[in-house]
Amino acid sequence: MIIVAGTLTFDPAKAGVLAEGWDKMQKATLEEPGCLAYDYFLSRHEEGVILVFEKWESEDALAAHMGTSHMAEFGGLMGQIGITNADVKKYSGATEGPLF
């Protein structure tokens, strides 16, 4: 299993552009083979910060996602929303079990 998690910092005035672009990207991505979770959340304490979370069945599934047309289109959106910092990491070899 592959987990992708981190933060992106963007121009908060562009939150509407982000939401519209993300909804389109998320819909297409959740239909991809091997995508188990794909979402972002706006930070509740830092304006203009997105918390990213993705879960993939395999490295191959994530690699295929990175080559999709909707990923390329979303890359263009990233420029439109004024990304000033990106700290997103990939974690591989994760095992999964209940926390509680």
The token pair that represents 58 in the structure block: 């395999």
- Which residue reads 């389109």 in tokens? 24
Question: How high is the pLDDT of residue 52?
Answer: 95
Q: How confident is the model at residue 4 (pLDDT cuts 50, 70, 90)?
A: very high
Whether the CB-CB separation of 51 and 88 falls below 8 Å is answered with: no
The range of the structural domain enclosing residue 86 comes to 2-91
Is 48 contained in some domain? yes
Give yes or no for residue 91 having a pLDDT over 90: yes
Is 13 contained in some domain? yes
Give yes or no for residue 79 having a pLDDT over 90: no
Is 98 contained in some domain? no
pTM exceeding 0.75: yes
For residues 27 and 25, give the distance between their C-alpha atoms in angstroms, rounded to a whole number.
6
Is 99 contained in some domain? no
Give yes or no for residue 94 having a pLDDT over 80: no
Domain at 72, CATH number: 3.30.70.100
How many structural domains are present in the chain?
1
